[in-house]
Structure 1
Amino acid sequence: MQIDFALHSDLQKLLEIENNTFDKNSYPLSRRNFLYHIKKKQILVVKIDSKVVGYLLFFTYTKSWRIYSIAISTEFRQKGLGSALITYLKSYAAKKVKHILLEVKTTNSQALYFYQLLGFQPLKLLKDYYPDGDGIKMILEI
């Protein structure tokens, strides 16, 4: 397993992972979105045997960083790759900020459990944050 910043050559695989993970109602990232974030060095990819099998998109702010999206190829889920991406980001962010934020749907119990296992704590309820329901803002202190 290798984790590094996404390259332009990773674009096609990132789009495949995105479109296999998120339906149109989830507003998947476009080719243009990915190109922008690759250029800004805001996407980490996890590779197995030099093949991109997952990514984490994050935004940087002065006092905190925010995980916007994380996705793993279907055949590589439940193998610790999402945890590895977040752990890598946490280590990288520790030199720059004191916490990482993210939002998740209140009905996504699997994601909520996953983030809590990694140390994220609920920060506040976000009423009508998503088109189809509420969200929870979570924080990970570094």
Structure 2
Amino acid sequence: MAHRTLPHSLRGDQRGASIVELALFMPFMVMLIVGIIDLSNGIAMQFGLNKAVNRTLELATANSVVTTKNASEVDYSYLARETARAAEVPEENVTLTKWVECDGTRQATFETMCDPGESIARYVQIEAMKSFSPTFSLGPVGETVDLRADAAVRVQ
């Protein structure tokens, strides 16, 4: 059986080669672009969550006017509602933690009063969680990614 050879005019013809290369390369380019868009959307959502938590803690420092002599009686429960509203998440996705430290030692409850002569520091911490669903769930990312933001501030 004889081998067929291409006519001399087709052997050196490069027309159409770039279209074939583009067709082979294009799926990778599209995946790269979609991946970059997904990543940037996730990062933007994370920044928004951080912003919501930090802005809410600014409220804690600005609106925590102590009306009694005991700062442990100030109600900080509004911070969870404000964080949920600002982050556009359900309120059950927001955790409010309060604690007091006497001379740097964390106490059991926020209402604890330190002994005379000890330094007192009261803190409020907000943690918020939001789920992000990438357009394509490939590899280790999975179908959803839980984004978390938390911050704490000293209120006394």
The TM-score with structure 1 as length reference comes to 0.21
**Max Rg structure:** 2
**Structure number having the greater helix percentage:** 2
**Structure number having the greater strand percentage:** 1
